[in-house]
Amino acid sequence: MIKYSNGQKFNKISSKSTKKPRKLGTFSHGNRGMNLEEDINLSNDFYRSNGLCLITKRPTPINVVKVDYSKGAIITNAYFEKQSTTDYNGVYKGRYIDFEAKSTLKLTSFPLANISSHQIEHLKQVLKHGGIAFFIIEFAKLDQVFLLDASYVIDFYENGNRKSIPYKDVQTHGFEIKKGLTPRLNYLDVIDKIYVNS
Amino acid sequence: MIKYSNGQKFNKISSKSTKKPRKLGTFSHGNRGMNLEEDINLSNDFYRSNGLCLITKRPTPINVVKVDYSKGAIITNAYFEKQSTTDYNGVYKGRYIDFEAKSTLKLTSFPLANISSHQIEHLKQVLKHGGIAFFIIEFAKLDQVFLLDASYVIDFYENGNRKSIPYKDVQTHGFEIKKGLTPRLNYLDVIDKIYVNS
């Protein structure tokens, strides 16, 4: 059983007809024994326990159809819903932080296909109200993770004539996130550089 | 079917062995045709669509045990988990907002029993990082709703020698939230008065 940092647990499913749903759309990290989401959750745990910031993962929205109370409260019929917001938000130095994490197996570009229009709308609202909004984008095969400001992605999403952001552009306009043991992904360091201390 | 403002849907359960779980611990609003959570969600919808702030409800955390992929992705075994954070957070004028909503049927005090130690810990962290943290407390039988700063509740929770906050104290240290049609609960007005414009 995997323990998520926000207290959620997910049993690994082994039967053929059942499997753990993919969390990151374009890419499952299973084989490589690492996972962008897990790295972010562990980094958030590290940040919280060291009093650096408080950023949490929103639980996966689930539409509950049927609950059986005869053996305690067991949900017997439900389904996953698309996240209409982003996966992560929280507070750092009084500022509101909001971001979405995505991973891709592609080498030359980041496809916009798995960003929903609801998420773009949500991030536009965050920016409008003075929050800090960005994407954490992993190029898994390159073993590189970037922080890319939401305004850049929104502009590309709405006005770009491509369905993916070229790697070169992510590299130019984004900031590479340093990897380590604790935290696994030091994205707070990038936030400090580009949003808070600038 | 009830549509929640964050896109979650909950089917009403009518069979005897199954029922919709209570969302607000101490009190079910079913009979009165109103609901604190629904009022807050509708207020948040109003605030968002009018560009005033962006505050969303965190989905209910659910521990998924089994997913059946034979007929699409249907969750066949899962259970509700206790929210380890609070129900609502978001951004207003760049500031981070975080709060929990609770309703009570009691007339003379607000019982602390349905606030978990995890929520207290979470709100302490929010305050530590400069966020705005509070409780929205409804005295349902009095038809009154108050905004009470988290620091007051935390202090009472940790140092008080009572297991409930007297109504008089909520009235004295809290701020009554004006009710209306749109928004149903104008708590942003109180935030303006005590946090943002003071």
> Which residues of chain B lie closer than 8 angstroms to A10, CB-CB?
63-64
Q: Which of B129, B134, B195 should be substituted to probe chain A, the one whose Cβ sees the most A Cβ atoms within 10 Å?
A: B129
- Which tens digits make up the pLDDT trace of B87-105? 999 999 999 999 999 999 9
Question: Do residues B93 and A129 make contact, with C-beta atoms less than 8 angstroms apart?
Answer: yes
Angle of the A117-128 helix axis to the A150-159 helix axis, nearest 10:
130
Q: φ and ψ at B73, to 5 degrees? A: -90, 90
Query: Which chain B residue has its CA at the smallest distance from A70's CA?
Result: B17
Q: In chain B, positions 13-52, which contact chain A (CB-CB < 8 Å)? A: 13, 17-21, 48, 51
Q: How many CA atoms lie within 13 A of B127 on its CB side?
A: 17
Q: φ and ψ at B55, to 5 degrees? A: -125, 130
Q: What whole-number distance in Å separates Cα of residue B70 and Cα of residue A50?
A: 44
> Residue B12 has what pLDDT?
35
Query: Which chain A residue has its CA at the smallest distance from B6's CA?
Result: A84
Q: What whole-number distance in Å separates Cα of residue B182 and Cα of residue B107?
A: 27
Cα B59–Cα B62–Cα B67 angle in degrees, nearest 5: 120
Going along chain B from its start, the domains and CATH numbers come out as 2-196 (3.40.1350.10)
Global pTM? 0.82
Q: What whole-number distance in Å separates Cα of residue A19 and Cα of residue B64?
A: 11
Q: Which of A14, A22, A68, A96 should be substituted to probe chain B, the one whose Cβ sees the most B Cβ atoms within 10 Å?
A: A96
> Tokens at residue A91, please?
């507070």
Q: How many CA atoms lie within 13 A of A55 on its CB side?
A: 26
Q: What whole-number distance in Å separates Cα of residue A48 and Cα of residue A56?
A: 9
Q: What whole-number distance in Å separates Cα of residue B77 and Cα of residue A196?
A: 44
> Residue B17 has what pLDDT?
36
Query: Which chain B residue has its CA at the smallest distance from A132's CA?
Result: B94
Q: What is the mean pLDDT of chain B?
A: 85
Query: Residue ranges of chain A with pLDDT lower than 50?
Result: 1-33
> Which residues of chain A lie closer than 8 angstroms to B128, CB-CB?
51, 54
Q: Which residue of B78, B94, B95 is in closest CB contact with A78? A: B78
Asked if B11 lies within 8 A of A80 by C-beta distance, the reply is no
> Which residues of chain B lie closer than 8 angstroms to A58, CB-CB?
58-59
**pLDDT (tens place) for every residue of chain B, 198 residues total:** 333 344 333 333 333 333 444 444 344 444 343 599 999 999 999 999 999 999 999 998 999 999 999 988 999 999 998 878 999 999 999 999 999 999 999 999 999 998 999 999 999 999 999 999 999 999 999 999 999 999 999 999 999 888 999 999 999 999 999 999 999 999 999 999 999 875
> Residue B10 has what pLDDT?
38
The percent of residues in chain B predicted with pLDDT above 90, rounded, is 75
Q: In chain A, positions 52-91, which contact chain B (CB-CB < 8 Å)? A: 53-54, 56, 58-70, 72-82, 84-85, 89-91
Per DSSP (E only), the strands in A30-182 are 54-57, 62-68, 74-80, 88-92, 95-104, 109-111, 132-139, 144-149, 164-166, 175-176
E strand or H helix at A83? none
How many Å lie between the alpha carbon of B124 and the closest alpha carbon of chain A?
Answer: 10
Q: In chain A, positions 92-131, which contact chain B (CB-CB < 8 Å)? A: 92-98, 118, 122, 125-126, 128-131
Is A2 an interface residue toward B (CB < 8 Å)? no
CA distances from A85 to A133, B15, B130 (A): 12, 33, 23
Q: Which residue of B62, B92, B126 is in closest CB contact with A75? A: B62
Residues in contact with A4: Cβ distance below 8 Å, sequence separation at least 6, in sequence order: A10, A41, A57
> Which residues of chain B lie closer than 8 angstroms to A17, CB-CB?
68-70
Asked if B78 lies within 8 A of A79 by C-beta distance, the reply is no
Asked if B59 lies within 8 A of A58 by C-beta distance, the reply is yes
Q: φ and ψ at A162, to 5 degrees? A: -120, 160
> Residue B34 has what pLDDT?
55
> Which residues of chain B lie closer than 8 angstroms to A93, CB-CB?
129-130
> Residue B142 has what pLDDT?
96
Complete DSSP assignment for B128-182: HTT-EEEEEEEEGGGTEEEEEEHHHHHHHHHH-SSSEEEHHHHHHHSEEPPB-SS
> Dihedral sign, CA of A104, A107, A111, A115?
positive
Q: What whole-number distance in Å separates Cα of residue B68 and Cα of residue A86?
A: 26
> Residue A83 has what pLDDT?
79
